[in-house]
Every structure is written in structure tokens, then in C-alpha cells.
Amino acid sequence: MRIIRHLTSDGPAYASLQQDGNAFALTGDLYSQNGLQLVSASPIPLGRRLAPIQPVNIIGIGLNYRGHAREMNRPLPEFPMIFVKTTNSTQDPSAPIVLPGSRNASHEVDYEGELAVVIGRAAKNVSRAQALDYVLGYTVANDVSARDWQFKWGNGQFCQGKGFDTFCPLGPVLVTRDEIPDPGQLALRTWVNGELRQDSTTSDLIFDVPELIAFLSASKTLLPGTVILTGTPSGVGAGFQPPRYLQPGDTVAIEIERIGTLENTVTRESF
């Protein structure tokens, strides 16, 4: 199923996106055993699109594509490099990425196109072989990062640079795992203002999706609604000479095969 969330007069609601573009209303609990069920097979009008889920945790993986480790001049990691992205950073598809312009201003805000894994049921000490059973589905994420706060002013920690409001656009569709049996073979492309910047596949991942779930669940219960950002391929703005950071008026589009395209414009905070 291709699940979307949108704003109705009664508040946020789920819907099932059909191949012809129509959407059918869904009811139920995304994380229960029965999940979401169709209300009726008649098309409904769609309101403003929302991030398909509200994450309870956002766990990021750094340096997880061989090509990206090369462009950042870093050795391949022995263990996954874990950071936390605070949930306030969640942003809706088509809503703006806001460059921070106040006391914590940044002039080095970068994009990172990523496959996002959504956990469907609590996972603890899960084996690699069983890991995908705990996945609800997949969506597209932009792990927006203020490089100055990430590397220069964050005292070695990524939380500040990764956790600004609007720095985690998600969506537009959550594709349930039955439709993507192998998350390790998906093409991923990122464009800024129509210019192709990232062009890779999830087969370049150093630690693949089952390995990440096995590794993370050995130390942390992955609660339903946890989002794992699996890392970004080469082609981020920081990898260019000179770097090409996001500017107000830019548009970032990230496409992942079998999921869809997440598109957000860039504005600067006014204060």
C-alpha cells in the first residue's frame, strides 16, 4: 500500500494513494496488528499533504555510502556512525526548508537525499535475518544539515547542526514493505534547481537496512514510529569545491525508485 497523510477539516488523516492518482480514505492505527483499513473505495479530495508519519525518534546514520565517505575524505567506518535528529525537525512534503537566520544562524545548510526506514513494531535484539519483519515501510527523507554547526560549532556533536526546525522533510508517500522486498536495490537521485547532484543506489550502502536494524536494536528498543535515516550518497553540497550550500529560492527534489519524489523549496528565517 502507498500511504499518505493529509489535512482534512477534521484534522490529519491517512489515505491510500492509487496508481491512477486517486486516494481512498483509511482508518485505524498505523502501528496496530491490523494496521490501516480502507473506509471505502471511492476517491476523496486531498488536503494539504503532510509528512506520512510523525516520528517518535529519528536516528541518523553518518558516512554510510562508500562514495560519500570518499568525498568527505573519511575512512570507511568499522561500526555504523549513529546520531540523533530531534523530532521537531520533521517537515511536510512541499513545505519550505527554513535556513536559520536568528541567533543560531547558518550559512552552510546542505541537503542529503536518503532512504528512510519506518519501524512498525518494537524491535529489540533483532537478528539480521528477521530485521525486515519489523519494518512498516519506506519513505524519502532529506537529512538537511547545517555544516557549520555540525562540524565547527557543535563541539563534536551533530545534534545542533542536524536538528533545526524543518531540517527533516519526509514523504510524500510511505510505501509498505511488502511492495519493496529488497530495500538494497533502489536508485536514489537528488536535484537542486533541476541540476542532478546525487545519483546512486542503496546497493552502495556500507551497512544495509537489515544490518542497521540488527545493530541499533542491540542497544536501543526501536519503538514503532522510529525513523532510521540510512545515510546519503556522494554529491552533497559540502563535497563540491567550493561547497554549494542551499540558498533561499532553491528547490531540492529527491527521488527514490518505487517510492516517489520529495520536493521542498528553501527560504530564510525572518526575525
Q: Based on CB atoms, which residue is closest to Zn ion, 106 or 232?
A: 232
CB of 229 to Zn ion, least distance (A): 5
**Best CA proximity match to 137, nearest among 259, 5, 7:** 259
Residue nearest to Zn ion (CB): 143
Q: Does 176 bind Zn ion (CB under 5 A)?
A: no
Q: Does 198 bind Zn ion (CB under 5 A)?
A: no
Q: Does 112 bind Zn ion (CB under 5 A)?
A: yes
Between CA 123 and CA 242 the distance in angstroms is 42
CB of 226 to Zn ion, least distance (A): 16
Q: Based on CB atoms, which residue is closest to Zn ion, 120 or 231?
A: 231
Cell numbers placing 6: 493529509
Q: Does 250 bind Zn ion (CB under 5 A)?
A: no
Measured from the Cβ of residue 254, the count of other Cβ atoms closer than 10 Å reads: 27
Q: How far is CA 46 from CA 17, 24, 49, 54, in A?
A: 10, 9, 8, 19
**Best CA proximity match to 229, nearest among 212, 215, 214, 217:** 212
Q: Does 143 bind Zn ion (CB under 5 A)?
A: yes
Measured from the Cβ of residue 240, the count of other Cβ atoms closer than 10 Å reads: 12
Q: Based on CB atoms, which residue is closest to Zn ion, 112 or 263?
A: 112
Among 139, 202, 232, 264, binds Zn ion (CB under 5 A): 232
Q: Is the peptide bond before 242 cis (omega within 30 degrees of 0)?
A: yes
Cell numbers placing 93: 512534503
Q: Which region, judged by CB under 5 A, interacts with Zn ion, from 134-142, 178-186, 218-226, 231-239?
A: 231-239
Binding site for Zn ion (CB under 5 A): 112, 143, 232
